[in-house]
Amino acid sequence: MAAITSFEACLTDLSVLSDSDRLLTTDTARRLRYLGLQTRPNVSKAEDRLKDIVTGLTAPSDHETSIELPFRLILSPHRSGRFLTPRPKMRRQGEPTPLWTAELEWNNPVERRGVGEVRAVWSTDFRKKVFIDEQAKLPPHGAYAPWEIGPEDGSGQRASRFRATLDGLDRHEIVVLSSVYGLPVLARPGEDGKLTGDQLAPPREYLLNDINTKSSDEDSAVGTFSARTVIRCSRA
């Protein structure tokens, strides 16, 4: 997302907010502002919110951490995370010698929470136009060679057969679930009536006028999508 100063994966570090943005009412509002999403009255309709979100969705630059793992899926760690590599040591004769290893550091103090988290921030198969263009097509689901599929092709019928663990639609959806934060979604409250998991109550600064956020019908109430990490390192 271009709005993030450095392309970190974790969306919990709000230390770079300006003083005025820190006055927003909730952590959710501050996080949305941190990602560059505009508040009311600049954006007060669902269509404008989607355009606002799509504007900030861009591929990592040459100076931002991006790891292609697996194929065509770009991962990025927290901006404060670091990779640990082994120190050289004397090799004993007859013992195997590892070529090279790198481990993402995760055992950090509470004030550095999220350092061991990784997000899928981009994919060659990610199609952000589907959020703002009803005619745009999702990547095809199936064993098709993704490099032979154009950005407007939703079938893949002309592509060669290519079987992999993930297909183009899988990669598109992983990026959405991991890094497209703030989407208006149909709320699914728990038994206590509160939103949990990947849904948050929309802050008052981000309410949308054309969506009934105070409906008594739970299925029509609207929440705010909270993107989840794809990898969270923790002690077993």
Give mean pLDDT in consecutive 10-residue pieces for the chain, a chain of 236 residues. Answer: 38 59 73 84 88 90 86 85 73 74 65 65 94 92 92 88 92 92 82 77 83 48 74 49
pTM: 0.78
Q: Which two tokens stand for residue 95?
A: 């013992």
Q: Which of 202, 209, 157 is nearest to 181 (CA)?
A: 202
Structure tokens at 46: 């669902």
DSSP state for residue 134 in the 8-state scheme:
T
pLDDT of residue 93: 74
Domain parsing of the chain, residue ranges: 21-86+97-232
CB-based contacts of 233, cutoff 8 Å, min separation 6:
104, 106, 116, 117, 118
Q: Does an H or E element contain 232, and which?
A: strand 231-232
Identify the three-state secondary structure at position 52: helix
Name the nearest CA neighbour of 58 among 132, 11, 125, 122.
122
Identify the three-state secondary structure at position 207.
coil
CA 93 from centroid of its chain's CA atoms: 47
| Rounded Cα distance, 44 and 49, in Å | 7
Q: What does the alpha-carbon distance between residue 225 and residue 184 come to, in Å, rounded to a whole number?
A: 6
| Terminal C-alpha separation, the chain | 32
Q: Residue 206 has what pLDDT?
A: 86
Q: 112, exposed or middle or buried, with CB in 10 Å at 0-12, 13-18, 19+?
A: middle
Say what the pLDDT of residue 219 is: 41
